[in-house]
Amino acid sequence: MTRVVITGLGAVTPLGHTVDDFWNNSVAGKSGASKITRFDASQFRTQIACEVRDFAPQTLLDRNDIKRSDLFTQYAMYAAVQSWKDSGLDISQMDPFDVGVIWGSGQGGMETYETEVTNYVEGNRQPRFNPFFIPKLLVNMPSGMISMKLGLMGICYTPVSACATSNTAIMDAYNYIKLGKAKAFITGGSEAGITSASIGGFSALKAMSKRNDDPEKASRPFDKDRDGFLMGEGAGALVLEEYEHAKKRGAKIYAEVVGTAMTSDAYHMTSPHPEGIGAAKSMQLALQEAGLSPEDVDYLNVHATSTGLGDLAELNGVEKAFGFPEKLHISGTKSMTGHLLGAAGAIEAILCVKAINNNIVPPTINVEQLDEAIDPRFNIVTGKAFHKEVKVAMSNAFGFGGHNSTVVLKEV
């Protein structure tokens, strides 16, 4: 049986531009939220977000890489280069067709699209667009540019399943390796959605928090006073590799991917099924593929965006899949990072890997009073990180359109 392991990690997030900084700030319970600085949001319903601050792409990327790419692609390449270096893989010692890139994004080049269209509408002149307009906005461009940057000539494409996208990418990479179609992949997701149109659009859906005077406490999954999510941005990258290949070269192995699954709610464009039926089935199928029982899981990183409907629906699914095992600890780390949309699954998978490596469950911050509709038998880690043995971790990611996705990771 072909096994798939994780041998490289990379991240750029509102809590840090390296995996170590991201992990340490998450364990410390820090918030990445603040007033939006990317544009003037003073007239918007939501004026706060979790921005990536002081990003310096030139530390890892060439001038041409930056010039030709939207910010979401820069985040992707930055995290991917980190993960590739971390893995120790050397493409000159491999068949380049054995290594691919499966990279996701929910929105693509929103900033590029807004800028170019605004310039055209306000320009009052003959249409003139940047020659990189189309390449910069295309949602598949990070996978292509990562492959070009690192010389990876294997399977290369972009899945899109809204906020479930990164888990979809991880699942696809895992399956292709198990099928023998590749030795390794860089996989993950990136997003740069803190733009006027994106913030305005989600605000119009009344899905985002309006706690503008207290941004660090605005993202509050499970709290009775939660009023919506906060937009985050950044990227998470993982190198997935065939186990025997990694073992033969003496690679550092972080964890093993043992199960993945996706289901559809077939219910509503933007709302989850209130009973969590699809979410439960996704978790059950992932455990089935992993050959594990619910009692084997030590940590569950829930999707938990901090919306009234979403948090409760997911916990209904967790109850169906797990019951209330004392061993299972749950946390919602979007309370710190905000919601990175198509990149959420990737950075949360990284937190699951680090939880296994360090035997620490990162916290859910800002839970001041648990929603009365939430069963107190759930072991939700609030306030401070919880130290415990973590051998198996699970990460959920759900998306508009009814997409449910689950990844299960295990200690090696």
> From the CA atom positions of the chain, what is the Rg in Å?
20
- For the chain, the 3-state helix, strand and coil shares in percent, each to the nearest 5, are 40, 20, 40
Buried b (16+ CB within 10 A) or exposed e, 209-222: bebbeebbbbbbbb
The kind and range of the H/E element at 346 are: helix 344-358
Q: For residue 155, how many other CB atoms are within 10 A of its CB?
A: 19
For the question of residue 339 being annotated catalytic, the response is yes
For Cα atoms 253, 338, 255, give the angle at the middle one, nearest 5 degrees.
10
| C-beta of residue 283 within 8 angstroms of C-beta of residue 345 | no
Q: For residue 400, how many other CB atoms are within 10 A of its CB?
A: 18
Which of 50, 156, 163, 352 does the annotation list as catalytic? 163
For the question of residue 403 being annotated catalytic, the response is no
For the question of residue 303 being annotated catalytic, the response is yes
Distance (Å, whole) CA 139 – CA 76: 11
Q: Read off the tokens for 305.
A: 């965006």
Alpha helices per DSSP H over 59-179: 63-67, 71-87, 110-123, 133-137, 141-150, 165-178
Q: Read off the tokens for 236.
A: 């998470």
Half-sphere exposure in the Cβ direction for 214 (13 Å, CA): 8
User: What amino acid positions are annotated as catalytic residues?
Assistant: 163, 303, 339
